[in-house]
């Protein structure tokens, strides 16, 4: 018997209550189980106001126990493994975000729901997909002539509140890619196409589906909306080649009279760690406030993990403080260990408690207010906080990401040179 049939048989025994081998083959459809097909699939997730957020994914090795599904968002590729089958459904775990897709599979069509495991009794949102090469968005016969390429000031308007953000987009071969930057971080890789009146974009990398509709008002402005699973936000854009966010070093501050961070927290082995440990004394230390549930934190970690391997011998250390979704030590330990393994993190990541202002106030009493995950503290050789950077704009933001990397290295170089 092949390994695939053994896997299906075990699922039948587990879920079907089969009392004997003869009944197994007589009443279970495991030997007729439909599997995912290798190749490209076009999928949709339902978002608010009856919209659909389309995305593409690719399946490889579908007929083996090591099937891989890759979510595709422009240049971003997110690998999902551990796929398995239960009766007539396929289960696609999204480990990084403690979520999954469960869908009935029939003749190259999937229908089911995307749910988040950490939400008790989550009903999820509707998911459907069809196998076969297809564009994310159908081509428009007469697309709008206005040009989306470049930088934009974008106002988010919701319930009377207004927030200033920045958009950056480019068009190539009728495909539009880009991102929207906020002071908390960026919206990852958006991908889309022109419409008759503007642009439509979407993204899904495993946590939150986004769908964006933009309608041009002349050649230098647009109006539209951002749709998520439960909400929508009005967008008002104006072209600005010098568009920029608020200074990320100006947002998070220490309380008056505070110069140091005094946390003492356990790592995943149960050992208490603080900046007073010998490992950090006399070194420049980067303290990253993160959560393994936070997409921008994952982008930052991907950069920091490699950077640390290349720079640790210069007298610099990194330590992460992870605030997780549940006040559960086993849950947090598993989440952090998986995070470290996935991104090759060699520096300490400490268990800081449940995400929320109460935990932050307890762990970081010196901080006036934490605005964003991630937030990065730069500590000099004497242990004093030299700078605090709020948010993170990653690879999807193009030039902004390149500017961040240069600034990050300039800050660290300056602290290393300072005696």
Please give the pLDDT value at position 409.
Answer: 98
Please give the pLDDT value at position 32.
Answer: 63
Average pLDDT of span 160-180:
93
Length of the chain: 419
Give the list of residues 6+ apart from residue 41 with CB closer than 8 angstroms, or none. 56, 57, 58, 59, 110, 129, 130, 131, 132
Please give the pLDDT value at position 75.
Answer: 86
φ/ψ of 174, rounded to 5, equals 65, 10
pLDDT at 27 over 90: no
Burial of 15 (0-12, 13-18, 19+ CB in 10 A): exposed
Coil, strand, or helix at residue 111? strand
Average pLDDT of span 255-260:
96
Please give the pLDDT value at position 159.
Answer: 86
Q: Which residues pair with 264 in a beta bridge?
A: 274
Instruction: Dump pLDDT digits (tens) for 353-386.
Output: 999 999 999 999 999 999 999 999 999 999 999 9
Instruction: Dump pLDDT digits (tens) for 52-66.
Output: 999 999 999 998 889
Per-domain residue ranges for the chain?
Answer: 3-131, 150-239, 264-417
φ/ψ of 379, rounded to 5, equals -110, 130
Two tokens, residue 292: 């393994």
Q: Which CATH superfamily is domain 150-239 in?
A: Quinohemoprotein amine dehydrogenase alpha subunit, domain 2 (2.40.128.120)
Give the rounded percent of residues in the chain with a pLDDT score beyond 70. 92
Residue in 99, 103, 92, 91 with CA at minimum distance from that of residue 122:
99
Coil, strand, or helix at residue 323? strand
pLDDT at 28 over 60: no
Please give the pLDDT value at position 160.
Answer: 81
Judge if 3-131 and 150-239 fold alike in CATH terms.
Answer: yes
CA atoms of 341 and 99, how far apart (whole Å): 18
CATH class of 264-417: alpha beta
Residue in 409, 356, 349, 416 with CA at minimum distance from that of residue 382:
416
Average pLDDT of span 288-295:
96
The CATH topology of domain 3-131 is Lipocalin (2.40.128)
Strands annotated E in 195-310: 198-203, 210-216, 221-227, 232-239, 264-266, 272-274, 284-290
Residue 397 DSSP symbol? G
Instruction: Dump pLDDT digits (tens) for 297-337.
Output: 999 999 999 999 999 999 999 999 999 999 999 999 999 99
């Amino acid at each position: 018997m092949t390994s695939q049939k053994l896997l299906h048989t075990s699922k039948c025994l587990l879920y079907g209550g089969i009392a004997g081998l003869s009944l197994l083959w007589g009443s279970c459809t495991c030997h007729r189980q439909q599997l995912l097909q290798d190749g490209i699939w076009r999928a949709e997730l339902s978002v608010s106001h009856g919209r659909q957020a389309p995305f593409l994914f690719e399946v490889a090795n579908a007929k083996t126990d090591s099937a891989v599904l890759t979510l595709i968002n422009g240049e971003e590729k997110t690998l999902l493994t551990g796929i398995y089958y239960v009766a007539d459904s396929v289960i696609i775990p999204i480990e990084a975000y403690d979520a999954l897709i469960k869908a009935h599979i029939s003749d190259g069509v999937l229908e089911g729901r995307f749910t988040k495991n950490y939400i008790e009794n989550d009903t999820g949102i509707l998911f459907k997909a069809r196998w076969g090469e297809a564009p994310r968005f159908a081509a428009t016969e007469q697309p709008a002539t206005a040009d989306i390429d470049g930088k934009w000031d974008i106002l988010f308007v919701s319930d009377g509140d207004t927030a200033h953000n920045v958009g950056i987009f480019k068009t190539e071969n009728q495909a539009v890619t880009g991102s929207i930057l906020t002071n908390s971080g960026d919206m990852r890789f958006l991908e889309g196409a022109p419409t008759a009146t503007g642009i439509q974009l979407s993204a899904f990398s495993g946590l939150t589906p986004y769908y964006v509709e933009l309608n041009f008002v002349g050649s230098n402005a647009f109006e539209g909306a951002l749709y998520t699973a439960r909400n929508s936000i009005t967008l008002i854009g104006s072209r600005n080649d010098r568009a920029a966010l608020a200074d990320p070093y100006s947002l998070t501050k220490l309380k008056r009279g505070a110069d140091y961070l005094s946390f003492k927290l356990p790592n995943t082995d149960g050992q208490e760690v603080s900046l007073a440990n010998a490992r950090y004394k006399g070194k420049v230390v980067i303290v990253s406030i993160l959560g393994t549930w936070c997409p921008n934190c994952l982008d930052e970690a991907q950069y920091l993990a490699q950077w640390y391997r290349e720079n640790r011998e210069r007298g610099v250390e990194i330590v992460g403080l992870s605030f997780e979704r549940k006040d559960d030590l086993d849950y947090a330990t598993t989440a952090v260990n998986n995070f470290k393994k996935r991104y090759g993190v060699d520096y300490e990541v400490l268990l800081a408690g449940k995400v929320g202002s109460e935990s932050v106030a307890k762990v970081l009493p010196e901080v006036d207010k934490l605005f964003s995950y991630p937030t990065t503290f730069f500590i000099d050789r004497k242990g004093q906080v030299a700078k605090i950077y709020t948010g993170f704009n990653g690879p999807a933001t193009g030039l902004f990401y390149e500017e961040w990397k240069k600034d990050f290295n300039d800050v660290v170089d300056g602290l290393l040179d300072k005696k």
